[in-house]
Amino acid sequence: MKILMVASEAVPFAKTGGLADVVGALPRFLAELGHDVRVVMPRYTKVLLRENGIKFEKVVPLLGVPMGIMGELWCSVWESQLPESEVPIYFIEFEQYYGRNRIYTDARGEGFLDNDNRFVFLSRAAMQLAKALHFKPDILHANDWHTAAVPVFLNTLYRNDPVFKDAASVLTLHNLQHQGVYYRGLMDVLGVGWQHFNYLELEYHRTVNLLKGGLYHATLLNTVSAGYADEIQTPAFGYGLEGVIRDRADDLRGILNGIDYDLWNPETDPLLAANYSHLALQGKAVCKQALQVEMGLPVRDVPVFGLVSRFVNQKGIDVLAGIIDRLLEMDIQIVMLGSGEWWAHVFFPEVRERHPKQFACQLGYNDELVHRIEAGADFFLMPSRFEPCGLNQLYSLRYGALPIVHAVGGLDDTVENYDDRGGSGTGFKFWGLTRTSLYDTIGWATYTWYNRPEHVEAMIRRGMQQRFTWNDSALGYEKLYEDALARRRG
């Protein structure tokens, strides 16, 4: 199949979260299955192709992108490849929209005021690019609200275009909280006609909701875990779109993300102080000591809890903040890495001042430190309010940091709860995110570490042998694409 995947971020070029991991990895595995996959994303300022030492060239010097009443805007397109693959990736270069240091927000964390136009432009540019390249896709694969206009365009403005005659579309929901809700004047920029501004398609309480338009128009839909696919049909997780999603429940699947086991392998990981495997765990103790030194904590044999996250509402960081002083009354250490909402950047450094021997937090983004936290930690905290898939718990399982998770979405699907009678399980789960449930579960893990070390070690070995591979996910997407195509033709 010929597949055009459109997204706002992709590893290694630009990343704020797991979406970039998916778009950087999935196409490579689809290509290995024999498909012609190509990726389209913006060329942000941080996409420095020359400095990455990757081959690149300008493939379309001038691409016209109609933007409704704004008229036609002209961009250029660069082509490069996803590393360690032949997968072409196209970068839409349009300085006015993408010539910025950050992807979605300004330095204060406020969303850019023109994000609606920036991502409608990306979606439309992808359509125009396929035409310019004479690339006749079987599948247009959109991801999240940023590119949810792609299925809308396919069904409307490009319905009779020979390039898209046989194309079906797939929309992957990585996160229902962000929907691309804007002033209804955006209809004039989309240019599909106001007849599509109705309660089934793009209209949402008098505003335009791009994700809703995509949900209506995509041939088939998926989320990144089976659990989340069920959850988003309920008010607690649907963020107002649960009804729309229920209407399409028969067309919605859950396909779990994978991780790259070449990159995330404690047996070979060059970023670690020592390597280890489930058969020989000694190196993990060395990694733990190295982590304590690196984070400025005393080297002591106490349970170390790691956390790596965006510090936002989704991730439940506020609940952890509410109990952190009480947690640190236990003989444990907590190590955090992340950035996000401003209060967290004030709050956690103060915790460090109060508990310098037990708590350390690095604010910011640090790809390499993630590996060392996973390797050095005994436990890994993920108190997410909702988690469509989650990647860190998968890294944690592989690195023997037992995940402690709120049993939602992908966290519930990938972690098996500890049973203290027989010692089975791969982590610790709680149902219902409250301060008490989080405190009690961390207390339970701490108790187990001190009193049932044989259970902890067995769980570590068990978790390290679990596999959530991209190859399995790619097979799921292949089936989804085939079904979408059959549906479209029928």
Residues that bind ligand ADP (CB under 6 A): 17-19, 21, 308-310, 337-339, 365-367, 370, 389-392
Sign of CA dihedral 329, 330, 331, 332: negative
Residue number closest to ligand GLC, CB atom: 18
Give me the residues that bind ligand GLC (CB under 6 A), please.
17-19, 22, 174-175, 224, 257, 387-391, 410
CB of 238 to ligand GLC, least distance (A): 15
> Quick one: 18 or 403, whose CB is closer to ligand GLC?
18
d(CA 304, CA 327): 12
Reduce the DSSP state of residue 15 to 3 states and report it: coil
> Quick one: 197 or 470, whose CB is closer to ligand ADP?
470
> Quick one: 192 or 308, whose CB is closer to ligand GLC?
308
CB of 256 to ligand ADP, least distance (A): 11
CB of 255 to ligand GLC, least distance (A): 10
CB of 358 to ligand GLC, least distance (A): 29
d(CA 395, CA 264): 7
Q: CB of 403 within 8 A of CB of 380?
A: yes
Reduce the DSSP state of residue 340 to 3 states and report it: strand
22 binds, among ligand ADP, ligand GLC, none (CB under 5 to 8 A by kind): ligand GLC
Specify the residue for token string 């108790």: 447
CB of 394 to ligand ADP, least distance (A): 8
d(CA 66, CA 153): 12
The widest CA-to-CA distance across the chain, in whole angstroms, is: 69
CB of 197 to ligand GLC, least distance (A): 28
Residue number closest to ligand ADP, CB atom: 18
d(CA 62, CA 59): 9
N-term to C-term CA, the chain: 17
337 binds, among ligand ADP, ligand GLC, none (CB under 5 to 8 A by kind): ligand ADP
122 binds, among ligand GLC, ligand ADP, none (CB under 5 to 8 A by kind): none
| CB contact set of 440 (below 8 Å; sequence gap of 6+) | 430
CB of 389 to ligand GLC, least distance (A): 3
367 binds, among ligand GLC, ligand ADP, none (CB under 5 to 8 A by kind): ligand ADP
Q: CB of 52 within 8 A of CB of 1?
A: no
d(CA 442, CA 479): 40
Amino acid identity of 304? V
365 binds, among ligand ADP, ligand GLC, none (CB under 5 to 8 A by kind): ligand ADP
DSSP state of 85: S
> Quick one: 136 or 310, whose CB is closer to ligand ADP?
310
Query: What does the block give as tokens for 28?
Result: 């490579």
d(CA 416, CA 412): 8
258 binds, among ligand ADP, ligand GLC, none (CB under 5 to 8 A by kind): none
309 binds, among ligand ADP, ligand GLC, none (CB under 5 to 8 A by kind): ligand ADP
CB of 472 to ligand GLC, least distance (A): 15
